Every structure is written in structure tokens, then in C-alpha cells.
Amino acid sequence: MFLGALMRYLVLALAAWAFTAAAHAQQPPSPTPTPQTAPIPESLQRNIDRLQAAALESDLAWEIVEGLVTDIGPRMAGSEAEAAARDWAVARLRALGFQNVRIEPFTIPFWQAVREEAHIISPGARPLVAAALGGSPSADVTAEIARFTSMAALEAAPESAVRGRIVFIDERMARNQDGSGYGPAVRKRGQCAPVAQAKGAVGCVIRSVGTDPHRFAHQGGASRQAAGVSLPAMAISPADADVLQRLSARGPVRMRLLIEADARDNAPSGNVIAEIRGRERPDEIVLLAAHLDSWDHGQGAVDDGAGVAIISAAARLIRDLPQRPRRTIRILLAGAEENGLHGDRLCGRASP
């Protein structure tokens, strides 16, 4: 029902865009930008009602995401699993009746952690649930932590408070229905290592991005750290961050970070493209995009298997209408999004 409701909103938005673009194309340019609302013709409203009903009744979106995470699973950018996902997507999109289904290949810098561990050494030795952040180098460091409640606090700290220590950014993500807390929360993911290294730290640990209290470490990061940055960086689960917070309030805490990473250049990746060719203006394109790759601690079901499923199923509903849309609807299942938006930037460069 969740996927069906999202599909409903997507097909409504597509239908409204198609009509609004056509209506505005027929009107002379206005000297002042005045918002205009055009009535929806009965024929278009019938299509909207049909799409809405079909979206709520269809299980296709669920079948797509269930197949992706079951048949393929985690899909690290540049990995054999991501390649298998591209082949899987091509076969699925062809079976759904889309046109011009193809792979646009490109290469990327590859990174994957093959070992990632974090431990409290003292007081009370114990392992933590941790994930190496994308681009982190191989390292094995043990040091006392320096806890900061935000990136701003780290940036304002003197070198004497950081040098020789493992920085711990204990910044919580704001819980908002619109997800607006995510952007500020991920800043520490990319900025902790360069800022901490400049102040002489030997490692960086962040509270996982997210608002849940679970013992699961949230991954993320680019395929390479910024030039000149070579600091090991990890995210620890919210539950373990709570433990560090309490211990650091009582006295010094020593940690060990252990990362072994496989990093190499020119790994194969690619975008999967499919289309519904427009009947009147095929060179004008409405792009529906999601990304096919994922991190490897989970299955990539939500990020972004659900997106892959929703846009593919919504486009299939439009394809099945009695008349094709005026403009081409293009599906982009981007590769290597998680480690640097590579596929998004390259989309269409090899298109016919």
C-alpha cells in the first residue's frame, strides 16, 4: 500500500506536468511571471483517475523491489553485485515492455571495506557496531577520544584538544517529518576527517546519521576522501554512541579503530536506461530517476530499491494507457550514486 500510494502521487505529477507543459507552450510569453492554473480536460482527468486506481491496485512495485533485494542483495558501486543488478534491471525492464533498454557503461574509483571494527579499550572493553565511511583508508589506531557535540564545536576547538586523539562527533539528527534534518546531519560525515586531521587527530568517529535508536551503523561517504585527507573515519550505531557519551562524561575513554579497505581505480559501473518514446515530441524528455547501487551493510531496499520500483512501475502504468504520452518518458537507474553521484552526472552522454 505504501508503494502504491507513492506511485499514485508520481503518476498524478507526471500527468499534471505533461498537460501544464503543453498548455504553457501554446500561450504567448507573459511580460511578468504570473502563476497560471489551467483546467484539466476531461480526457486527461479520465487518464489520471485510471492511473490512480491502477496504482493502488498494482503489486508491481513491490514485486520489483522484492526481486532486486532477493535476487541481487547489496550492490556496492563498481562491484560484481552492481554489475549483476544492471543485467537484472535490463531483463526486467525489457519484460515490462519498455523501449531502448540499454546500459551506459563508465568506470569509477572503487572502495569497499573488507574489515571494519571499533572497540572501546577502556573503561569496560567491548566491541561497537561500526561502519567505515566511504573512502576511509586502511588503518589500525588506538587513542583517547575527544568528544564534540557538533561539527561547529570541533571547528572551534583548539588543536590542543584534538591532537593525537580520535575525534567523536556526537551530533544528533533532528527528527522532522519532511526530512529536513538529514542535510545538516550528514555534514559531519564528510567534514569530520578533514577538519580533525588538520588539527592533528588520528581518527574520526561520528554518531550514525538517522533518528532511530537501533544498534545499526549508517553508512555513507564518497569513493575517495578529499585530496590530502588520510584519516580513518567510522560511523557507530546510535546505541553505541550513547554508551560513549555516558562514558566520556565520567572520564577518559580509549578506542581502537581497525579498517582494511579495498581501493582501486577504473572499476566498471554503468547506468540502465529505458524509455517510452513520445508520440509527438520524442526529443523532449521527462526523466524518472533512481539509483541502482547501495551500500553493503543492508539490502538497499529503501535506498534506493524502493525508488527503482516506484518509477519503473509508475512508468509501466503510463505505458499501458491507450495512447502513448506526447513526450518521451525516460527511466534512469543510475549506477554509482552512493559513492559520488557518478551515474547521475554521466546520464545521457552516450544516449542515441
Strands of the chain, DSSP E: 99-122, 126-128, 130-132, 139-148, 166-169, 203-207, 233-236, 254-276, 281-291, 327-334
Q: At what angle do helices 307-319 and 42-57 cross, to 10 degrees?
A: 130
C-alpha cell at 224: 575517495
Residue 321 neighbours by CB distance under 10 Å: 15
State pLDDT tens for residues 257-289: 999 999 998 999 999 999 999 999 999 999 999
Do 68 and 87 meet the contact criterion of CB atoms below 8 Å apart? no
Q: Is 284 a catalytic residue?
A: no
Domain 2-17+37-109+266-346: give its CATH code.
3.40.630.10
Global pTM reads: 0.82
Model confidence band, residue 348 (pLDDT cutoffs 50, 70, 90): low
Cα-based distances in Å from 256 to 12, 118, 203, 204, 239: 52, 6, 9, 11, 18
Residues of the chain with CATH 3.40.630.10: 2-17+37-109+266-346
In CATH, the architecture of 124-252 is 3-Layer(bba) Sandwich (3.50)
Residues of the chain with CATH 3.50.30.30: 124-252
Name the DSSP letter for residue 225.
P
pLDDT recorded at residue 262: 93
Q: Kindly tell me if the per-residue pLDDT of 198 is higher than 50.
A: yes
State pLDDT tens for residues 56-109: 888 999 999 999 999 999 999 999 999 999 999 999 999 999 999 999 999 999
Q: Could you say which of 82, 275, 337, 338 is catalytic?
A: 337
C-alpha cell at 176: 522532522
State pLDDT tens for residues 137-177: 999 999 999 999 999 999 999 999 999 999 999 999 889 98
